[in-house]
Amino acid sequence: MPSSATIKLNSGHEMPIVGFGLWKVTNDTCADQVYNAIKAGYRLFDGACDYGNEVECGQGVSRAIKDGLVKRSELFIVSKLWNSFHDGPQVEPVCKKQLQDWSIDYFDLYIMHFPIALKYVDPSVRYPPGFTDENGKVTPGKASIQETWTAMEKLVEKGLCKSIGISNFRGVLLMDLLRYAKIRPATLQIEHHPYLVQEGLVKYAQDEGIAVTAYSSFGPQSFLEMDMQQAKDAPLLLEHPTVKKIAESHKKTPAQVLLRWATQRNVAVIPKSNNKDRLAQNLDVLGFDLSDAEIKEVHGIDKNLRFNDPLNYGVALPIYV
């Protein structure tokens, strides 16, 4: 059964507090994973141009709708604007391309993936383009965040998306955006786990009526397969003594504790799994509560350790320095 818990966005729409993340879901399994996740009860799917699997995501959604598992109106589909398409005139065309890839008419939420403008790369040259231009170089673009956001606001006006949001922003950029935004961001998506709590940023966004979504809830786990040294050097959160102790006391898995630590604080989560049991476990993170002392214990693990930083991929875009 789908999770009924939602967060009311400032746009007036309801967003499920637990969703399914599509980063690194492989093309050959993606359609089936989306279909099976819908079957398991997931209703929010968090995708992006940069993930390179939106066609397959759409195939899974289309099959589930065709088989009567779900109606389009019952799904909450999220995608993201990549850095290479920040120029105002490029925003609508690429959004429409992404909608076509998904085989849907609108996104429930469309997010600016990074506060980074890069040189435009035509989709016919390479798609998704990644961080480099047609010559293999990281070339900054000229679009300001205001230019990009204004173009995204028009997507809402044209019915191409119901809500718009941001990702990987720090507080000062959010403060600046709120000065000129005609449509306030509905959500802020950030790396958020006990090694990178970002408590001040979460509080600021929520105080401004902006919902927060956590990605990489299990910390280094997502980055090990990318051979990232920072992830290899960090003890696994799923095996952290504090997390394991709390899990045992609640008769839950460490993953469920990490997800509940977020959702109990009204932070949405987007884990993924291709394991049927873990799919169900990740969705079942609302039926128990951590004590205030346990939440404080998990907070105490914080190391201000960020994994999803362009510098960690060898890309010279120092957005977090």
pLDDT per residue as tens digits for the range 134-175: 999 999 999 999 999 999 999 999 999 999 999 999 999 999
- HSE-up of residue 189 (Cα within 13 Å, Cβ side): 26
Known catalytic membership, residue 51: yes
Inform me whether the pLDDT recorded for 239 exceeds 90.
Answer: yes
- pTM for this model (two decimals): 0.97
227 versus 201: the higher-pLDDT residue is: 201
Q: Which residues pair with 16 in a beta bridge?
A: 6
Of 51, 110, 120, 215, which residue is the catalytic one? 51
Rounded mean pLDDT of 243-261?
98
pLDDT in tens, 14-49: 999 999 999 999 999 999 999 999 999 999 999 999
- Axis crossing angle, helix 199-207 with helix 171-180, rounded to the nearest 10: 20
Rounded mean pLDDT of 238-267?
98
Of the given ranges (121-130, 189-198, 222-231), which has the lowest mean pLDDT? 222-231
Give the CA angle between residues 44, 46, 51 to the nearest 5°. Answer: 155
The pLDDT score that the predictor gives to residue 3 is 53
Inform me whether the pLDDT recorded for 1 exceeds 80.
Answer: no
How far is Cα 33 from Cα 240, in angstroms, rounded to an integer?
29
Q: Residue 86 — pLDDT band, cuts 50, 70, 90?
A: very high
The pLDDT score that the predictor gives to residue 225 is 87
The pLDDT score that the predictor gives to residue 276 is 84
The pLDDT score that the predictor gives to residue 157 is 98
Inform me whether the pLDDT recorded for 2 exceeds 70.
Answer: no
Mean pLDDT, rounded, of the chain: 96
Among left, alpha and beta (phi > 0; psi -120 to 50; other), residue 304 is left
Give the residue ranges of DSSP H helices in the chain. Answer: 27-40, 54-66, 88-102, 145-157, 171-180, 199-207, 229-233, 241-250, 254-263, 276-283, 292-299
Q: Residue 274 — pLDDT band, cuts 50, 70, 90?
A: confident
Rounded mean pLDDT of 91-96?
98
Determine the residue type at 172: V
Inform me whether the pLDDT recorded for 76 exceeds 70.
Answer: yes
How far is Cα 103 from Cα 55, in angstroms, rounded to an integer?
8
Q: Residue 4 — pLDDT band, cuts 50, 70, 90?
A: low
Query: Within a 10 A sphere around the Cβ of 157, how many other Cβ atoms?
Result: 9
